[in-house]
Structure 1
Amino acid sequence: MPLPRLSSYPLLHNRPFRLLLIGRTLSLIGGAVIPAALALAVLRVTGSGSDLAIVLGCAMGPRLLLLPLGGVVADRFNPRTVALVTDLVRCGAQLFVGVELLGGEPQLWHIAAAEAVGGAASAFGMPTLPRLITGTVEEKDRHGANSLFGVVRSSTVLGGPALAGLLIAVAGPGWAFILDAVSFALSACLLSAVRLPHAIAPAPVEQRGSLRKDLVEGWQEVRRRDWYWTSLVAHAAWNGAAAVLMTLGPVLAVEELGGEGVWIWILQSGAVGLLLGSLLAGRARPRRPVLMANLGLATYALPLGLLAAEAPAPAVIVAYGLAQAGLGFLSPVWETSVQAAIPPAVLARVTSYDWLLSMAAMPLGYVLAPLAASAWGTGAPLWIAAVGVGVACVGTAAVPGVRRFTLPASEPAEEPAEDDRERPVALEGQVSAPAHERL
């Protein structure tokens, strides 16, 4: 499949969107570098896998706990301001870690505390992206905008670990984190110049409800759409299955499939597949976008099943690339669908619940996979994960809202006047209700 030319993206002539894309790219690069750089830095300092687990847990815990609150903040305030502040906080956190590592005697709890602050900031920054996209582009251009962000996100996943390794090898762990901090600072500078011509103004302070009311309202918007919450269950199953594969896959690759090189090839195949899936999503316009995206996720059962069956390494490599292509295809398609169907006033809150359910499933997979492997053998949790992700993703086809969800080709999608379960979402573009705007 040929790569799209730059001229294929007229959105790049849109100055607010162009600045947003460059700024978010820098932020995504910083976010992609952090896990690998942190792992290498902590192992260099302490040599302890337990210490690394503590630091990673400190970064993940606040993010999970604060995501719903982050959605409320992103809906109540200007999303550009929220994203800018979170970039500055993450800049400060990574700068602190860099200085700590350059000091000669780094303290583990200092690094853990800084990463906790950075993780908390990311909980407020992540829900802002859908509102930033819908604020900088017209509704007809959202799919193209989400596709571009999908390509950028996939590229950072592909290059982030390698960049982290290069920075540490060339400049050392401390300077790697300082350069990472610079990426967040540059992102904040670009965001400061972004204007949101299509943004919906937040409600005045006197009209805002309580924090609890806002949280409940966001959850109700999730619960009342059968196509949305059932898809979130499928996405959570996918993330849990991915954690099982990431935990047990390296062991099987090294011990059964040919060594460490095989695992590297598996990961690289996945990164390439992720990028190709994102590129495909930019060209495809599926008639049933939510259904097709969820069916694409079901392909993750293939590498899980092949690993469990101890299939030859080439088969696992190809299957993992195909599975990750399904993920790359899902992201832009899903985000465009959500932005079209969710009211702009609650978009960030709804997105935060999406992130919360998806991310919470991964630690569960990390914990349960080795326990199940110890009790029943390595193949059992892989088979369980394969069946789970396959049934959860394919099973969404039985949900009326998933089957009926369509996006009009030329008309903006509007919020349905009735429950999504009672009539096709395709009719949203035909009712006389205000048009509305996302894993």
Structure 2
Amino acid sequence: MTQHPLKLPDFRLLIVGRTVSTLGDAVVPAALAIAITRATGSSGALALVLGCAMVPRLLLLPLGGVVGDRFNPRVVALVTDLVRAVAQLLVGVELIGGQPRLAHIAVAEAVGGIASAFAMPTATPLVAATVEGPHRMRANALLASAGNAARLGGPALAGVLVYTAGAGWAFILDGASFMISAALLTRLTVRHTPAQRRPLLADLTEGWGEVRSQDWYWTSLIGHAVWNGAHAVLLTLGPLIASRRLGGDGVWIAMTQAGAAGVLAGSLIAGRVRPNRPVLLANLGLALYALPLLALATAAPAPVTVTAYALAMTGLGFLSPVWQTVVQQRFPAQVLARVTSYDWLLSLAAAPLGYTLAPLAAHAWGSGAPLLATAALVALACAGTAAVPGVRRLGPGEEAAGAANGDRSGPHAQVRSGTGSCGPGRQAS
């Protein structure tokens, strides 16, 4: 009988390393937003820094997927953890210096974004390689819950650091967390069946063909892309609205703290509930993101805004393990990193647009107009997936035979004909 995931030494190493690095990452968003807005007083400067991290990540994600399928994902993850550690430590030193230079911070964040493009596609293959199919949903839920518990403490820790030692120490902490994660990865043993070596274009084309072959998959990714665009708008405009209209920087920290609690609650729910239509329910949960956008647009009282954000992020927390599990069940191991890279690429594609257009639209029409428009788009795109037959029909099920070991015969034919089984899973951001 297959062991519980936590009884597997490799999974324990994976979950500890992922949780530690997540805690470090959870401190950064609030600290970065406050540090940049304090230094410049401009949402445009914050958008620039966020965009510098996002754009190279998006451009290189497909290449990261090919690398993740060709090479051992453990090695790729280890190297990228070290690169990101150096990048975050450099940002921390820049901020501690007292006169942060925006260009230096933007370059360091761009380097971190490049490393992320190669790291992100390894997450799903690492779980698939360390945990057998029947327990992957539990493993994904455990990873999500542990990571989200770490995120729960991140904003509060960020607030303590910002108001005591300074924002730079949040980045020092994040860099140290990546170093710990890399050290744990050196001890991890991962099964890896490398993909057949072919020209780069052929590998990219095959991965894209996998994405296009399933209507529930690519249509859901459209909704996820709109969600991430909306998230970018909120991250860009939210800190200044909270500071100037809702009561100060503390309101923004409270929002991020409540959001972390919502994500944790959603992942815990995902680990205990087995809905008949998991992907449909998860996509409908993402539509809740319209609530905090509406609250910010109308300058609703701080408690209402904080609660709305918590509810919205609960939907995200439920989606993450559900989506990851169904992807692991539905795609063979030899294409999993490429599929994941396209997943992230399509899902995050609208984020740079949100970072760019949000401050421009706010300058032209005020912050309320872009927030209201974005609320309508995210509700329509995420709830609209209910009109797709594949999304409505996709129910819970066991892993298709052969998907875990890369057998590309029977199971993929089942998936393409719509008779295969499914599971749940994925984080939109």
TM over 0.5: yes
Q: For residues 74-153 of structure 1, what are the structure 2 equivalents within 5 Å?
A: 74-99=68-93, 109-153=103-147
Is the counterpart of residue 28 in structure 1 residue 22 in structure 2?
Answer: yes
Query: Deviation string for 1:116-169 (max 9, x for gaps)?
Result: 222211111111010000111111111111111211332333332333443455
Deviation at 1:259, TM superposition (A): 5.7
Is the counterpart of residue 231 in structure 1 residue 220 in structure 2?
Answer: yes
Deviation at 1:342, TM superposition (A): 1.4
Partners of 1:237 and 1:389 within 8 A in 2: yes
Look up the equivalent residue of 1:68 and give its one-letter code: P
Instruction: Label 1:28 to 1:253 Cα distance change in 2 as closer, same or farther (>3 A).
Output: closer
Give the aligned partner of residue 278 of structure 1: 267
Alignment root-mean-square deviation, CA: 3.2
The normalised TM-score by structure 2 is: 0.85
Partners of 1:17 and 1:137 within 8 A in 2: yes
Give the aligned partner of residue 163 of structure 1: 157
Equivalent residue in structure 2 for 1:12, among 3, 6, 15 = 6
Look up the equivalent residue of 2:306 and give its one-letter code: I
Partners of 2:322 and 2:426 within 8 A in 1: no
Q: For residues 262-341 of structure 1, what are the structure 2 equivalents within 5 Å?
A: 262-308=251-297, 311-341=300-330
Distance in 2 between the 1:323 and 1:124 partners? Answer: 29
Look up the equivalent residue of 1:201 and give its one-letter code: T
Look up the equivalent residue of 1:90 and give its one-letter code: R
Look up the equivalent residue of 1:202 and give its one-letter code: P
Partners of 1:405 and 1:424 within 8 A in 2: no
Deviation at 1:293, TM superposition (A): 0.7
Q: Give the total of aligned pairs.
A: 417
Partners of 1:289 and 1:337 within 8 A in 2: no
Partners of 2:319 and 2:426 within 8 A in 1: no
**Which stretch shows the higher mean deviation, 409-418 or 322-331?**
409-418
**Which stretch shows the higher mean deviation, 142-151 or 180-189?**
180-189
Is the counterpart of residue 398 in structure 1 residue 382 in structure 2?
Answer: no
Look up the equivalent residue of 1:148 and give its one-letter code: L
Look up the equivalent residue of 1:94 and give its one-letter code: Q
Deviation at 1:424, TM superposition (A): 4.1
Distance in 2 between the 1:255 and 1:100 partners? Answer: 27
Distance in 2 between the 1:274 and 1:408 partners? Answer: 24
Bigger relative CO (Cα 8 Å, ≥ 6 apart): 2
Give the aligned partner of residue 202 of structure 1: 194
Deviation at 1:280, TM superposition (A): 0.7
Partners of 1:339 and 1:438 within 8 A in 2: no
Give the aligned partner of residue 356 of structure 1: 345
Is the counterpart of residue 423 in structure 1 residue 418 in structure 2?
Answer: yes
**Which stretch shows the higher mean deviation, 113-122 or 176-185?**
176-185
**Which stretch shows the higher mean deviation, 253-262 or 359-368?**
253-262
Give the aligned partner of residue 342 of structure 1: 331
Partners of 1:401 and 1:425 within 8 A in 2: no
Distance in 2 between the 1:256 and 1:36 partners? Answer: 18
Instruction: Label 1:338 to 1:419 Cα distance change in 2 as closer, same or farther (>3 A).
Output: closer
Deviation at 1:43, TM superposition (A): 6.5
Instruction: Label 1:272 to 1:385 Cα distance change in 2 as closer, same or farther (>3 A).
Output: same
Distance in 2 between the 1:80 and 1:306 partners? Answer: 42
Instruction: Label 1:14 to 1:161 Cα distance change in 2 as closer, same or farther (>3 A).
Output: same
Distance in 1 between the 2:10 and 2:90 partners? Answer: 31
Give the aligned partner of residue 432 of structure 1: none
Instruction: Label 1:58 to 1:249 Cα distance change in 2 as closer, same or farther (>3 A).
Output: closer
Distance in 1 between the 2:238 and 2:259 partners? Answer: 13
Distance in 2 between the 1:316 and 1:111 partners? Answer: 30
Partners of 1:404 and 1:424 within 8 A in 2: no
Is the counterpart of residue 369 in structure 1 residue 372 in structure 2?
Answer: no
Distance in 2 between the 1:98 and 1:316 partners? Answer: 31
Distance in 1 between the 2:252 and 2:99 partners? Answer: 34
Distance in 2 between the 1:167 and 1:226 partners? Answer: 46
**Which stretch shows the higher mean deviation, 228-237 or 53-62?**
53-62
Secondary structure, in 3 states, of the residue corresponding to 1:239? helix
List gaps (5 residues or longer) in structure 1: 1-8, 430-436
**Which stretch shows the higher mean deviation, 341-350 or 160-169?**
160-169
Secondary structure, in 3 states, of the residue corresponding to 1:126? helix
**Which stretch shows the higher mean deviation, 348-357 or 108-117?**
108-117
Distance in 2 between the 1:57 and 1:410 partners? Answer: 37
Instruction: Label 1:364 to 1:157 Cα distance change in 2 as closer, same or farther (>3 A).
Output: farther
Look up the equivalent residue of 2:413 and give its one-letter code: A
Distance in 2 between the 1:254 and 1:43 partners? Answer: 10
Distance in 1 between the 2:46 and 2:261 partners? Answer: 28
Partners of 2:26 and 2:151 within 8 A in 1: yes
Partners of 1:351 and 1:438 within 8 A in 2: no
Distance in 2 between the 1:95 and 1:219 partners? Answer: 36
Deviation at 1:330, TM superposition (A): 0.6
Query: Deviation string for 1:187-220 (max 9, x for gaps)?
Result: 1111111112xx34113xxx41111111121111
Deviation at 1:276, TM superposition (A): 0.7
**Which stretch shows the higher mean deviation, 390-399 or 26-35?**
26-35
Distance in 2 between the 1:47 and 1:302 partners? Answer: 27
Partners of 1:130 and 1:438 within 8 A in 2: no
Distance in 1 between the 2:361 and 2:113 partners? Answer: 29
Partners of 2:43 and 2:236 within 8 A in 1: no
Distance in 2 between the 1:52 and 1:251 partners? Answer: 11
Look up the equivalent residue of 1:279 and give its one-letter code: L
List gaps (5 residues or longer) in structure 2: 404-410
